[in-house]
């Protein structure tokens, strides 16, 4: 349960509270069987002060104004982690026949402009693929930057971090991913956290089928290429033999299942589901199977064998061909082998969008650097966001770059990138930090002074502390710490203290004594151990 003072909201007007149950956190919210194997309906009564709007992930709600009491009822069985509550200075607007958006008053116009009419389009596309939407309403609530992940698929009420509103393409993908969870994850749920890919891999596959239907194959292939790049980046960090790269990962006693959330859950799971769809010869045949799978198992929890048995029974000709035992692509190997996916999708339909990225990257990384004129003629403002982040991610992978290259990159693109969204800007600033490019460091300071979100602060602090700029990071942190949620503040303190003796208390109050100074603790959390940047592991629930 996250309690926020008004200063940690956008409006600075009223306190705010929200819950985040995934994976096993709702045991601190209410007594429950905190496992996805157990589903039940629920009802709740919530008393709140006047002027505080309360919402829950429920199909029915009433408000008794005289008593200040909200009553909620979820009529369909759900696992404990999908029970969610949010309360604060929230107002709403309808954006479709069965959807409304909730946000703080200062954010609502932006949310409306980004999503009006869009959610119904995505829901309709999903229904055409996987059958009726069974939850009634599909509402969205935008949460303050303290929300610890990007999005959460709470039924009837998707939670999304407000910070993503400025990044249109990421917003589209994140909402569509949560829409897909309405079928894969919420209606049919993985029975154990060791098989999280049953929710995430299938939801990612469904998300890409929906984007193909609504935005075309080229856009879907571009987004997939961007995510698979991230998967291979994570694999280099973790090592191909790391057991967390298995789809059926072993959950040791005492380990928080959330620690197993990684891109393998999403992208390796997606690749396996895509491989199954290719065995059918036509993705529409696989859509028909998934509709039957949802109808058979909705409101229950399943294991991988349930999915695979259903698949082979639905396609008896594939069962006769023993596709589950095909050499090198055995289903068992997909589930239990470490390392990369055994097969990856053909993304050639996205070449019109990915080829310009590859061409520009080669111009900047091929020696001698005599193609600057050609490279500088590329106008990144005309590119899609996913093209630009794919290009910047590849430059990040190659950092540190020769000084002449980073200097020319800044001259060509820095002013263009300044006007772009945070998903793009953070990547450019990481390139600045990893290359110790001092002329643009002031932009890093300015960015961190205006960011309160975990996903836009942690990666930069990690990079700053890995290199020679830790004192610069400390200075910024001492100036901005009061605008950060205590949980985020603690994580940054742990990053700053890596490799240091316990730091003395530093008076950051410029001579005043009524505010206690911060002492950094000499310990490293699981979240920062191993120097795996959250930028490399950025996932939605």
Q: Is residue 506 in a domain? A: no
Query: What is the pTM for the complete model shown?
Result: 0.92
CATH number at residue 325: 1.10.390.10
Q: Within this chain, do residues 7 and 73 fall inside the same structural domain, yes or no?
A: yes
H or E element, residue 54: strand 53-56
Q: Is residue 168 in a domain? A: yes
Q: What is the 3-state secondary structure (H, E, C) of 62-99?
A: EEECCCCEEEEEEEEEEEHHHCCEEEECCEEEEEECCE
The answer, yes or no, to whether residue 442 has pLDDT greater than 50, is yes
The one catalytic residue in 104, 153, 169, 178 is 178
Q: Within this chain, do residues 322 and 399 fall inside the same structural domain, yes or no?
A: no
Mean pLDDT of 7-36: 96
Q: Is residue 461 in a domain? A: yes
Under a CB-based contact definition with an 8 Å cutoff, are residues 412 and 376 in contact?
A: yes
The answer, yes or no, to whether residue 505 has pLDDT greater than 50, is no
Mean pLDDT of 366-391: 87
Name which of 169, 241, 533, 191 is nearest 385 in CA terms. Answer: 169
Please give the Cα distance from 109 to 260 (Å, whole number): 37
Q: Is residue 219 in a domain? A: no
Q: Please give the pLDDT value at position 259.
A: 84
SS3 content of the chain, % helix, strand, coil (to 5): 50, 15, 35
Pairing status of strand 151-152 against strand 60-64: unpaired
Q: Within this chain, do residues 111 and 253 fall inside the same structural domain, yes or no?
A: no
Q: Please give the pLDDT value at position 348.
A: 98
Phi–psi pair at 415, nearest 5 degrees: -70, -35
Q: Within this chain, do residues 301 and 423 fall inside the same structural domain, yes or no?
A: no
Domain end among 313, 336, 359? 336
Q: Within this chain, do residues 47 and 132 fall inside the same structural domain, yes or no?
A: yes
Q: Which domain holds residue 228?
A: 224-336
Q: What would the pLDDT profile of 34-57 be if each residue is shown by its tens digit?
A: 999 999 999 999 999 999 999 999
Please give the Cα distance from 159 to 154 (Å, whole number): 7
Domain end among 336, 360, 394? 336
Active site residue 178: yes
Q: Within this chain, do residues 299 and 260 fall inside the same structural domain, yes or no?
A: yes
Q: Within this chain, do residues 155 and 21 fall inside the same structural domain, yes or no?
A: yes
Q: Within this chain, do residues 249 and 135 fall inside the same structural domain, yes or no?
A: no
The answer, yes or no, to whether residue 469 has pLDDT greater than 70, is yes
Q: How open is the CA angle 320-325-331, to the nearest 5 degrees?
A: 115
Q: Which residue ranges make up the annotated binding site?
A: 177, 181, 200
Q: Within this chain, do residues 29 and 178 fall inside the same structural domain, yes or no?
A: yes
Q: Please give the pLDDT value at position 366.
A: 86
CATH number at residue 65: 3.30.2010.30
- Helix and strand numbers (H, E) in the chain are 20, 14
For residue 499, name the pLDDT band (cuts at 50, 70, 90).
low
Q: Measured in Å, how far apart are the chain's first and last C-alpha atoms?
A: 17
Domain end among 182, 211, 246? 182
Q: Is residue 341 in a domain? A: no
Q: Within this chain, do residues 436 and 409 fall inside the same structural domain, yes or no?
A: yes
Q: Please give the pLDDT value at position 367.
A: 79
**What tokens appear for 361 in the block?**
């990257």
Please give the Cα distance from 142 to 111 (Å, whole number): 8
State the residue for tokens 């996916």.
Answer: 341
Q: Is residue 195 in a domain? A: no
DSSP E strands, 120-213? 139-143, 151-152, 157-161, 188-190
The answer, yes or no, to whether residue 506 has pLDDT greater than 50, is no
Q: Within this chain, do residues 410 and 315 fall inside the same structural domain, yes or no?
A: no
Q: Which residue ranges make up the annotated binding site for Zn(2+)?
A: 177, 181, 200
Q: Is residue 492 in a domain? A: yes
CATH number at residue 417: 1.25.40.320
Mean pLDDT of 406-434: 96
Three-class DSSP category at 142: strand
Q: Within this chain, do residues 331 and 424 fall inside the same structural domain, yes or no?
A: no
Name which of 541, 173, 234, 232 is nearest 386 in CA terms. Answer: 173
Please give the Cα distance from 225 to 358 (Å, whole number): 12
Q: Is residue 467 in a domain? A: yes
Mean pLDDT of 305-322: 98
State the residue for tokens 């819950």.
Answer: 19
Query: How many structural domains is the chain composed of?
Result: 3
Residue 247 CA from chain centroid, whole number: 19
The answer, yes or no, to whether residue 267 has pLDDT greater than 60, is yes
Active site residue 266: yes
Instruction: Give 23's contacts (C-beta < 8 A, 6+ positions apart).
Output: 81, 193, 256, 257, 258, 261
Please give the Cα distance from 13 to 9 (Å, whole number): 8
The answer, yes or no, to whether residue 501 has pLDDT greater than 80, is no
The answer, yes or no, to whether residue 540 has pLDDT greater than 70, is no
């Amino acid at each position: 349960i996250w309690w926020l003072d008004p200063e940690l909201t956008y409006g600075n007007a009223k306190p705010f509270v929200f819950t985040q149950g995934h994976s096993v956190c709702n045991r601190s919210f209410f007594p429950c069987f905190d496992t996805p194997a157990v589903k039940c309906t629920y009802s709740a009564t919530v008393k709140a002060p006047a002027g505080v709007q309360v919402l829950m992930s429920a199909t029915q709600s009433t408000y008794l104004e005289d008593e200040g009491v909200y009553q909620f009822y979820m009529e369909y069985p759900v696992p404990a982690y999908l029970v969610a509550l949010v309360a604060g200075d929230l107002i709403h607007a309808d954006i479709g026949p069965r959807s409304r958006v909730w946000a703080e008053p200062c954010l609502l116009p932006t949310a409306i402009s980004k999503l009006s009419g869009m959610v119904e389009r995505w829901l309709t596309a999903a229904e055409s693929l996987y059958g009726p939407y069974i939850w009634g309403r599909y509402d969205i609530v935008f949460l303050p930057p303290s929300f610890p992940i990007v999005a959460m698929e709470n039924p009837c009420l998707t939670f999304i971090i407000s910070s993503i509103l400025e990044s249109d393409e990421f917003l589209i993908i994140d909402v569509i991913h949560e829409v897909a969870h309405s079928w894969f994850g919420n209606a049919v749920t993985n029975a154990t956290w060791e098989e999280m890919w049953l929710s995430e891999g299938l939801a990612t596959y469904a998300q890409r089928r929906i984007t193909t239907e609504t935005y075309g194959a080229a856009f879907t292939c571009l987004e997939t290429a961007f995510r698979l790049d991230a998967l291979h980046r994570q694999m280099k960090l973790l090592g191909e033999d790391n057991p967390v790269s298995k789809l059926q990962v072993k959950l040791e006693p005492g380990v928080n299942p959330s620690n197993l959330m990684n891109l393998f859950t999403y992208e390796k799971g997606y690749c396996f589901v895509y491989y199954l769809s290719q065995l059918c010869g036509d993705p529409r045949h696989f859509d028909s199977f998934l509709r039957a799978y949802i109808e058979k198992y909705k409101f229950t929890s399943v294991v991988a064998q349930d999915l695979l048995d259903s698949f082979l029974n639905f396609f008896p000709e594939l069962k006769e061909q023993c596709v589950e035992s095909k050499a090198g692509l055995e289903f068992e190997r997909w589930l239990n082998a470490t390392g990369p996916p055994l097969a990856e999708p053909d993304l050639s339909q996205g070449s019109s969008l990915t080829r310009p990225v590859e061409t520009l990257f080669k111009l900047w990384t091929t020696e001698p650097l005599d193609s600057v004129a050609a490279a500088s003629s590329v106008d990144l403002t005309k590119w899609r966001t996913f093209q630009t982040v794919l290009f910047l991610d590849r430059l990040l992978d190659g950092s540190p770059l020769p000084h002449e290259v980073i200097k020319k990159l800044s001259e060509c693109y820095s002013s263009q990138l300044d006007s772009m969204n945070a998903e793009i800007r953070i990547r450019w600033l990481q390139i600045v930090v990893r290359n110790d490019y001092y002329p643009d460091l002031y932009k890093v300071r300015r960015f961190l002074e205006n960011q309160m979100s975990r996903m836009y602060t942690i990666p930069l602090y990690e990079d700053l502390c890995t290199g020679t700029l830790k004192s610069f990071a400390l200075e910024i942190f001492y100036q901005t710490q009061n605008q950060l949620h205590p949980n985020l503040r603690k994580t940054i303190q742990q990053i700053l203290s890596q490799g240091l003796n316990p730091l003395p208390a530093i008076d950051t109050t410029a001579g005043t004594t009524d505010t206690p100074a911060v002492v950094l603790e000499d310990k490293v959390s699981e979240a920062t151990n191993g120097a795996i940047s959250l930028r490399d592991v950025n996932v939605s629930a």
